[in-house]
Amino acid sequence: MLWAKVKILHVIDYYFPHEGGAERYCKLLALQHVKDGHKVTILTSDIASKKDKIIRHEVTPEGIEIYRMNSRMLPSRMPYIHGLEEKIREFSDYDLVHAHTPYPTLAWQVTEALRDMNIPLVTTHHCDYTRDKEFDDKYREFARVASKVFVRELFKMSDRIIMSTRAYAETSEEMQGFHRKLRVIPMCSTLPEKPGKVEKENYILFVGRLIWYKGVDHLVNAFSIIHKKHPHMRLKIVGRGPFLDKIKRIGRKRLLKYEDFIEEYLKDEELTETYKKAKVFVLPAYTRRESFGIVLVEAMSHGTPVVVYNIPGPNELVSKSGGGLIADVEDPFDLADKILQLIENEELYDQCREKGIKYVHRNLTPDVIARKTMKVYNSAINSHRKKRKKHGK
């Protein structure tokens, strides 16, 4: 039986309006839980603030309370939030803390704050903290050790651990030994009404941050193969990031004149139309930095089949939904082949389209995911009580 009203404290490194899968997941979960009558507070970083003591407090129109705290940016976009431990302790009357990893700094700060507090802890592990390849070996080794120590310490303290797919959890180094606590709950997105038949336009779509691990350079290379067979096709890339210039250079090298770069995040209505009219959506990420892919949910919800590389997380979403095809990892030739299969096989295309729509609208709406998460909260609270009772506390 679920509690009538639960007070939830989210602790997350970045939060809306910062763009990212974890941020969107946290926001949608918070919105749905507030709508369902629960109290939700969010503690997060405020990289823009220059003063150590400054905490920006706000309450959204929906009733979500947010504290944005001054932070220092460490390498690999890893924030250290000043005063986070003390701030967490101010919420000792809350029913539970919901922490969000992968960053070792936040894991360490939450662990230190909760060490002497009697409060249940749920952790959503969004992905393993794989070390950016642009850093030197010394830093990568430090990051590997920090992740193994601090994230796993947080897992030891956690009553339940949420991950978005079983495939990712079973291959996670950080998760080894903690599978008894694991609960698999996929991510969700705000979905449109089930789309009817839409006349598709001749473009292949990517939406996301332009950074190395997203594999957009693989997509550009694959598109050069596709364009030889289908010269009317275009490639549309929506996003910005440090990899933009490199991707454009690759495009010029391949003599592609049919690439559209939209170097900003589109408004919701514009992005909806872009998803809806795309022929195929491609997420060519090839590392463990990509653990799910909310953009895949958004594409399928608009009736657009998807293609991904065979990496843990995205592969499970696509295989379960039937909403697209899976290519061999880091193989632009196979990526091109899978895209071509969808473009050239109308029956296969329609099957993927219908299966994708059906799956996401049945399983990946905010209300469905929020209900599943609330059950995990309830389980964590009960588990924590039993654990405290067993130890006489």
Domain that holds residue 322: 203-363
* pTM, entire model: 0.91
Give pLDDT, residue 74: 73
Give pLDDT, residue 1: 43
pLDDT category at 267 given cuts 50, 70, 90 is confident
313: number of Cβ within 10 Å:
26
The answer as to whether 12 is a domain residue is yes
Three-state SS at 199: coil
Residues contacting 121, CB < 8 A, separation 6+: 96, 97, 98, 99, 110, 114, 154, 157, 158, 159, 380, 384
Higher-scoring residue by pLDDT: 76, 287: 287
pLDDT category at 138 given cuts 50, 70, 90 is low
Look at the chain and report how many structural domains it folds into: 2
The answer as to whether 236 is a domain residue is yes
Residue 366 has pLDDT above 60, yes or no: yes
Give pLDDT, residue 259: 65
Give pLDDT, residue 262: 64
How confident is the model over 79-115, as pLDDT tens digits? 889 999 999 999 999 999 999 999 899 999 999 999 9
The answer as to whether 2 is a domain residue is no
Give pLDDT, residue 168: 96
The answer as to whether 290 is a domain residue is yes
Residue 23 has pLDDT above 80, yes or no: yes
pLDDT category at 254 given cuts 50, 70, 90 is low
CA distance 182 to 166: 9
In the block, which residue shows the tokens 């096709």? 233
The answer as to whether 1 is a domain residue is no
Higher-scoring residue by pLDDT: 336, 192: 336
What's the start-to-end Cα distance of the chain, in Å? 24
One domain for residues 290 and 327 = yes
